[in-house]
């Protein structure tokens, strides 16, 4: 699952930023230990901590700014503080917000919260999350910040018809032809982990174009906060068609495999969420994802072409971008473009490299990245950014070289695309002192 992108519980948290929940009813009897443990595990899969914790802030106290195309929202305080957090929410209140998009008091939650995914969660799992929050999360008194969405997106009444169009009326679909692992994987992907919130494209009204594997749009790739959330369907070049179930499980558990190494928002997802999934659930997710047909009709496998390697080995830099590659990239990714497996990922045949949307690659070259920090690896690896030393055209040439070498057949990257991302990310140019 190469990539944010970003992050698994993010959209639930975005919505809570707009509708502060007053949460837990004090004085209720303690929940059973096994229910709390189950809720703790589900919270890991949902990656609540990643979005509900601002940089340098108290865990789960909210305040993380999240930029959207229509304004800024802030994750909310979900600690069991009585005044600013979840201190007065009953289980019914909590369930209504999580699965129906309606906060305590009747306020509608914005669809930035993936309640269209959480609607497929079982009541028992929602109750387990609630029990964990009551038991394990330390109360923190911290007021929630107000959102700033432009009109008409600031009009909550519009969410009533939006829900009519987008809120599913059924749980995760059972498929009699599939086994128990497939069904469990479908539940994790569609509901708890809400992978579609990032990896499924959205329509004009910001609803996901597909909610399960029956739609050709489901998990076919999307753009989220300036990153390209990659295609998770079975396409052989830009999707997961060349990955085995073991490859997928390894990537989600460690952030690396023979095909790719995590970076950007996906590193956060792996570090704070998927690395903690059980082996059984990792296999279930891989089983489900590998069952999804390709969305782009790619059937021919990647075929390596050694001509770029020969050019680099001979010291010929007549192709635009080749000299920059030899200077900045070749020491790690080699003249072969094959890198070093599980450390420096291959560029040849990498789905992220040949993604039709080069946004993630542009971000990576401009500002660098770090692999997921996981318990299974002794260290993480940092890739430096080169926006400070390479001009927009140089970066465009370098990315075009990478996307067109070793058998890659992706479209060129333009100077304008690099300049746009540089401005959005605030990366200084080489001329800036």
Q: What string of DSSP letters covers 227-276?
A: EEEPP-SS-TTTSSTT--HHHHHHHHHHSB-SS-B--THHHHHHHHTGGG
Hunting for tokens 């928002």 — which residue is that? Answer: 265
Asked which of 282, 301, 320 is the last residue of a domain, the reply is 301
Residues 6+ apart with CB under 8 A from 209: 200, 201, 202, 203, 215, 217, 218
Helix, coil or strand: residue 19: coil
**How many residues comprise the chain?**
433
Confidence (pLDDT) at 154 = 83
165 and 214 assigned to the same domain: no
User: Does residue 194 belong to any structural domain of this protein?
Assistant: yes
Between CA 158 and CA 180 the distance in angstroms is 39
Q: Evaluate whether 363 touches 264 at the Cβ level (below 8 Å).
A: yes
User: Does residue 241 belong to any structural domain of this protein?
Assistant: yes
Residue 62 bridge partners (DSSP): 53
Asked which of 301, 331, 348 is the last residue of a domain, the reply is 301
146 and 181 assigned to the same domain: no
Between CA 408 and CA 348 the distance in angstroms is 6
User: Does residue 329 belong to any structural domain of this protein?
Assistant: yes
**Dihedral angle computed from the Cα positions of residues 216, 221, 224 and 228, in that order, rounded to the nearest 10 degrees:** -160
Confidence (pLDDT) at 18 = 33
313 and 417 assigned to the same domain: yes
User: Does residue 90 belong to any structural domain of this protein?
Assistant: yes
Q: Evaluate whether 321 touches 397 at the Cβ level (below 8 Å).
A: yes
Residue 23 neighbours by CB distance under 10 Å: 28
What is the maximum span of the chain, computed from C-alpha positions, in angstroms?
Answer: 75
92 and 139 assigned to the same domain: yes
105 and 214 assigned to the same domain: no
Going from the C-alpha of 31 to that of each of 48, 122, 136, the distances in angstroms are 20, 18, 11
Helix, coil or strand: residue 148: strand
200 and 287 assigned to the same domain: yes
Q: Evaluate whether 230 touches 3 at the Cβ level (below 8 Å).
A: yes
User: Does residue 18 belong to any structural domain of this protein?
Assistant: no
> What are 94's two structure tokens?
């909590």
Burial 56-92 (b: 16+ CB within 10 A, else e): ebbebbbbbebebebeebbbbbbbbbeebbbbbbebe
User: Does residue 231 belong to any structural domain of this protein?
Assistant: yes
Between CA 16 and CA 113 the distance in angstroms is 7
Residues 6+ apart with CB under 8 A from 125: 38, 42, 192
Domain count, the chain: 3
Between CA 425 and CA 363 the distance in angstroms is 8
Q: Work out the burial of residue 143: count CB atoms within 10 Å of its CB; fewer than 13 is exposed, 13-18 middle, 19 or more buried.
A: middle
Residue 123 bridge partners (DSSP): none
Asked which of 127, 146, 169 is the last residue of a domain, the reply is 169
Between CA 223 and CA 303 the distance in angstroms is 27
261 and 226 assigned to the same domain: yes
92 and 146 assigned to the same domain: yes
Q: Note down pLDDT in tens along the chain; length 433 residues.
A: 444 333 334 433 333 333 333 334 444 678 899 999 999 999 999 988 888 888 889 988 888 887 777 888 788 888 888 888 878 889 999 999 889 988 888 888 877 778 899 999 999 999 999 999 999 989 999 998 888 888 888 888 988 998 889 888 788 988 889 999 999 999 999 999 999 999 999 988 888 999 999 999 999 999 988 899 999 999 999 999 999 999 999 999 999 999 999 998 999 999 999 999 999 999 999 999 999 999 999 989 999 999 999 999 999 999 999 999 999 999 999 999 999 988 899 999 999 999 999 999 999 999 998 888 998 877 788 899 999 999 999 999 999 999 999 999 999 999 999 999 999 999 998 875 5
User: Does residue 130 belong to any structural domain of this protein?
Assistant: yes
156 and 225 assigned to the same domain: no
Closest CA to 254 of 233, 237, 277, 234: 277
Q: Which helix (H) or strand (E) holds 208?
A: none
User: Does residue 395 belong to any structural domain of this protein?
Assistant: yes
Residues making up the binding site: 48, 51-52, 195, 198-199, 329, 332-333
Range of the domain at 54: 32-169
Residues making up the binding site for heme c: 48, 51-52, 195, 198-199, 329, 332-333
Eight-class DSSP state of 75: -
Closest CA to 233 of 189, 271, 167: 189
Helix axes 359-367, 415-425, angle to 10 degrees: 60
40 and 147 assigned to the same domain: yes
Between CA 144 and CA 87 the distance in angstroms is 14
Helix, coil or strand: residue 48: helix
117 and 85 assigned to the same domain: yes
**CATH number of the CATH domain containing 407:** 1.10.760.10
Between CA 107 and CA 20 the distance in angstroms is 10
Residue 406 neighbours by CB distance under 10 Å: 24
Q: Evaluate whether 229 touches 223 at the Cβ level (below 8 Å).
A: yes
Q: Evaluate whether 279 touches 200 at the Cβ level (below 8 Å).
A: no
279 and 322 assigned to the same domain: no
């Amino acid at each position: 699952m190469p990539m944010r992108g970003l992050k698994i519980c993010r959209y639930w948290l975005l919505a809570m930023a707009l509708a502060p929940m007053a949460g837990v009813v004090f004085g209720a009897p303690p929940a059973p230990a096994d229910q709390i443990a189950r809720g703790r595990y589900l919270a890991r899969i949902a990656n609540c901590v990643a979005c509900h914790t601002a940089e340098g802030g108290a865990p789960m106290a909210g305040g993380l700014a999240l930029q959207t195309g229509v304004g800024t929202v802030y994750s909310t305080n979900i600690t069991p503080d009585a005044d600013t957090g979840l201190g007065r929410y009953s289980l019914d209140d909590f369930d209504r917000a999580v699965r129906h998009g309606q906060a305590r008091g009747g306020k509608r939650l914005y669809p930035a919260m993936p309640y269209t995914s959480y609607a497929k969660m079982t009541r028992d799992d929602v109750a387990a999350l609630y029990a964990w929050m009551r038991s394990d999360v330390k109360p923190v008194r911290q007021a929630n910040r107000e959102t700033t969405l432009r009109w008409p997106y600031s009009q909550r009444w519009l969410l009533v018809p939006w829900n009519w169009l987008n809120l599913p009326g059924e749980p995760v679909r059972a498929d009699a032809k599939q086994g128990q692992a497939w069904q469990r994987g479908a539940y994790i992907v569609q509901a708890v982990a809400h992978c579609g919130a990032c990896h499924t494209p959205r329509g004009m009204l910001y609803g996901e174009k597909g909610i399960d594997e029956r739609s050709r749009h489901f998990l076919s790739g999307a753009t989220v906060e300036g990153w390209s959330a990659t295609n998770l369907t079975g396409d052989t070049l830009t999707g997961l068609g060349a990955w085995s179930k073991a490859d997928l499980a390894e990537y989600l558990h460690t952030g690396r495999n023979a095909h790719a190494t995590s970076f950007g928002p996906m590193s956060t997802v792996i570090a704070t969420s998927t690395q903690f999934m059980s082996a059984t659930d990792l296999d279930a997710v891989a089983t489900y994802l590998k069952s999804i047909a390709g969305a782009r009709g790619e059937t021919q496998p990647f075929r390596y072409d050694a001509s770029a390697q020969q050019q680099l080995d001979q010291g010929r830099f007549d192709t635009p971008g080749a000299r920059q590659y030899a200077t900045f990239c070749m020491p790690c990714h080699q003249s072969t473009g094959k890198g070093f497996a599980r450390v420096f990922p291959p560029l040849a045949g990498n789905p992220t490299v040949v993604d039709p949307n080069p946004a993630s690659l542009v971000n990576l070259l401009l500002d660098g990245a770090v692999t997921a920090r996981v318990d299974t690896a002794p260290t993480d690896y940092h890739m430096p950014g080169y926006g400070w030393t390479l001009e927009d055209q140089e970066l465009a040439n370098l990315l075009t070289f990478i996307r067109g070498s070793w058998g890659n057949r992706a479209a060129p990257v333009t100077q304008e695309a690099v300049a746009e991302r540089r401005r959005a990310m605030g990366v200084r140019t080489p001329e800036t002192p």
